[in-house]
Amino acid sequence: MSDHANLQQQCDWLRMYRRLKRILRVFGPDDWDLGRYWVFDENWGSNQHVVTIMDLALLSPEVITSLRRTLTDFDNWEVVITLDALGGESWPKMGLYLRQHEIIDGLHRSYFPEIFVIYIMRMHGLAPLTTRLRR
């Protein structure tokens, strides 16, 4: 990567990082141990940010849409949303890839608490699924 491209990546990374923090701060502190989310704070040189969610309520369409809007001015960037297992449970790796023109959904909803699945479905005006959910 040229010096100019490297400097541009660093500037873009910092601008996006600040936008992500500004959007999420209404949900409390950015804290791996005590918070509801954590914005990874190291720039590894890729066009990507990672946000770890510790509270499923932050997967609401409004929050995801707001996070995706951070990409408006940034071509070829993505925000990766990962889930940290809640309540000490062992969950497979899962998350969302937010890009300017797409969202790649890698969530394993069978691990979500049933009440959360029903809440999300109602928010989208969907009828409850008849499939069994893992408890």
**Structure confidence by residue, pLDDT tens digits, 51-82:** 999 888 888 888 999 999 999 999 899 999 99
Distance CA 46, CA 26 (A): 27
Distance CA 20, CA 80 (A): 12
pLDDT of residue 21: 95
Distance CA 91, CA 80 (A): 17
Percent share of the chain, pLDDT over 90: 47
* Residue that has been written with the tokens 């809640």 in this structure: 86
Regions of the chain with pLDDT less than 70: 1, 85-89, 117-135
Q: E strands, 21-131, where?
A: 37-39, 48-53, 78-83, 95-99, 102-106
pLDDT of residue 31: 75
83 φ/ψ angles, rounded to the nearest 5 degrees: -110, 135
Distance CA 86, CA 27 (A): 17
pLDDT of residue 134: 44
For residue 30, the SS3 value is: strand
Show me where the domains of the chain are located. Answer: 3-123
